[in-house]
Amino acid sequence: MTKYVLAPDSFKESMTAKEVCEAMSRGIKKADPDAEIISVPMADGGEGTVDSLVDATHGKKIRVEVTGPLGDKVESEYGILGDGRTAIIEMAKASGLEMVSAAKRNPWITTTFGTGELVKDAIDHGAKKIIVGLGGSSTNDGGAGMAQALGAHLLDENNQELPLGGGALKNLAKIDISDLDPRLDDVKIILASDVTNINWGRRRLICFWPPKGCK
């Protein structure tokens, strides 16, 4: 008997990692009916990360309505892992490329606000550690929308709140984090990415504009 270990990532906008495993298993069984197949769906921080970690730790999924990439309300979900204190969030589930039709994909107007709402909901459910998968995003706002969802105020030179979307940041003059959700101080946030990202820490990450513009 031959043993096969299947460990694929998802096929973007086509198949989840679990569906890829199922398709590969069917193909192997046709060629080798006696095969022993071990399926281990993988993810790199993009689509499928929630499914992979929830399944592996016998956790659960939580459904929630959030703000989509274009500002409309969408149904989303995130996972609570088996320890009951760790949440796994995919940007792709709230701010993802597959949530925007090809004709409407415009990083000047898409926002990460919904991802911030998922973070807030996870904290509401008692999460003390949050893993945020960064893959599959349709946005280019540097996490500004996520910060806004968590209480940060992005202001122009007239102290007016900026609208959502990456394009609005050209008018950013000041960031006010005085209303930032204080519970973030007690939550560890881990970024899951398939590239190297500089970690400046929570305060420096949110104050991505010159520090003198933050208070």
Question: What is the per-residue DSSP string for 42-91?
Answer: --SSSTTHHHHHHHHHT-EEEEEEEE-TTSSEEEEEEEE-TTSSEEEEET
Q: Look up the pTM and report it.
A: 0.77
d(CA 135, CA 89): 11
- Domain with residue 147: its CATH number is 3.90.1510.10
Average pLDDT, the chain: 88
Structure tokens at 155: 């202001």
State the residue range of the domain holding 122: 43-213
What is the count of structural domains for the chain?
Answer: 2
Pair (150, 97) in one structural domain: yes
Confidence band (pLDDT; 50, 70, 90) for 198? low
Which tens digit of pLDDT belongs to each residue from 134-162?
A: 888 899 999 999 999 999 999 999 999 99
CB 154 within 8 Å of CB 162: yes
**Range from 9-13, 101-105, 169-173, 200-204 that averages highest in pLDDT:** 169-173
Q: What is the pLDDT of residues 23-42, one digit of tens each?
A: 999 999 999 999 999 998 88
